Chains A and B, each alone.
Chain A
Amino acid sequence: MIELINVTQHYGVRPVLREINLTIPVGGVTAIVGPNGMGKTTLLGVIAGVLSPQQGEVRIKGLRRRGSVEEELEIRRQVAYLPDKPWLPKNRTGREFLFSVGKLYDIADHRLFDHSDRLLRLFQLEREGDWPIRSFSHGQKKKIALAAALISECPLLLFDEPFGGGLDPAGILALKEVIKRLAKMPGRTIVMTAPDPSLVEELADGIIVLREGRIAAFDTAAGLRKLAGDGGALTDVIGRLTFPEALDAVEDYFEQGPS
């Protein structure tokens, strides 16, 4: 279980997250959605431990983030975080990189051999897996970074915009299926951000809608539709929840006559 208790985060003067109280249950997929600049990446960064909130605390499975060396290390063993723009060691091959990440998380060698083969096959990188990462395309880099997160076998995966970064349709399809299947495994939790709600509708068990640093809603897709009073596409529903004045703004625009 991930708990955020009264979390406020700001880098300078203006808070990006404001008094967030949130509990994400173990198991399943939780998506964080919202317009640009509303704090999706910041919220995920706070959960991942990249950012220390100015106020409040984060607890993962009862352990407090940065509470003590032991607590933080135990959390890190259970959490793999994949940022929107990961940096990869360009002179190492994809397979070497996967092995190194696996060893970092104490995965046994025999499991690593097998798992890395399967991951490279999954993301169509069997041939490129033994090439230096510098020769990878943008999308292939994204794939190998995703594979690295998966090889860690962590029960909690935090993905920042996993479907971005030049993933091809085959990669998106593979990742969707992997996320669906992982979410069904006991104890596996996936939290991800997505700018486009339609991508996560079929995956997410819970959707967190952020608006100006606060949680506007946290429910299932059906629950959000009910809350917004809109049975249409999830994108429209999220739009209503995050920017209720959107339709009024359109009316205003046309009332004055488009130029």
Chain B
Amino acid sequence: MARGALSLLASRRPECRARAPRFGPVVSQFKRIREIAIAIALLAIPFFVLNASLRDPSRQSWLDQQILSLLSGVQSGGTSAARVFSQFFDDYVYLVEVREENARLETRIARLEAERHQLLDEGLENRRLRSLLQLRERVGGELIAAEVISRDIAPPFFRVTRVEIDRGSRDRVRAGMPVLSGQGLVGLVQRASGRSCEVQLIVDRRAAVDVIVQRTGARGMLRGTGEDERYMARIQYLGREDALRVGDLVHTSGLGQRFPPSILVGRVTRIVREDFGLYQEVEVSPAVDFSRLEEVLILTEGALGDTVADVADEPPARRP
């Protein structure tokens, strides 16, 4: 066995190879005894420690007290290290929980935000539908509700030039029928197909509406300007003597039976009176925001009982 240990020692360290034949057995023996001594000591220490720590304090010997006082320092260090480790672990777990809670709360906020937007949308829709309902009661006649399904947009200001709604000839909608919204007059049905129809807006260059200024009773013909950058119309053939003011409300007059009377068309925004001529030029901003238009009413039967389309089919009377 000693020879085996010797050869092992010799093979491991070249510098020991020369000394190995002389000191090998002694070194090996010394190492063996040292290891056994260490092992016995390591077995004895906990035994005495256990004896000292578990014994009744009144029966502790001087050796027990010395061991315990020696241990208290070690134990204090160990406890501090354990506390630091535990604190670190607690902090880590806390941070992980905070992160998870953060993610959970972010998801919840996103959901609540979506619900809030939905409620706002529903509130706006509710308001629009309520105003449509009020309009239906006020206008009378037979009205069909419709939704905007597409819009023609004019670049570069994204102005809506024409809308398409989800009612057509199958719903008895025909060209020339007035289209209204809760805000006011939208325009006329220009072309009706099976399940949809196109609506010409009152700001279209080809649109013409007989209007009356509510405050003064002045009458004129409203025509769209068809401008790219804004929704605007002008009242033509309004006498110079009519004292209009900016902010006056403009309604449909009901004459010509193309539109029902007293439907809000817009508000006077600019008045130009030249030094010469019979008429003044009045710009009207429409009451309806065509960019946000979603629900409309189509008047298929006039308040007086006659079909509006029948009247609309007649050639328009020539104006001066």
Q: Do A and B come from one complex?
A: no
Residues of B within 8 A of A (CB): none
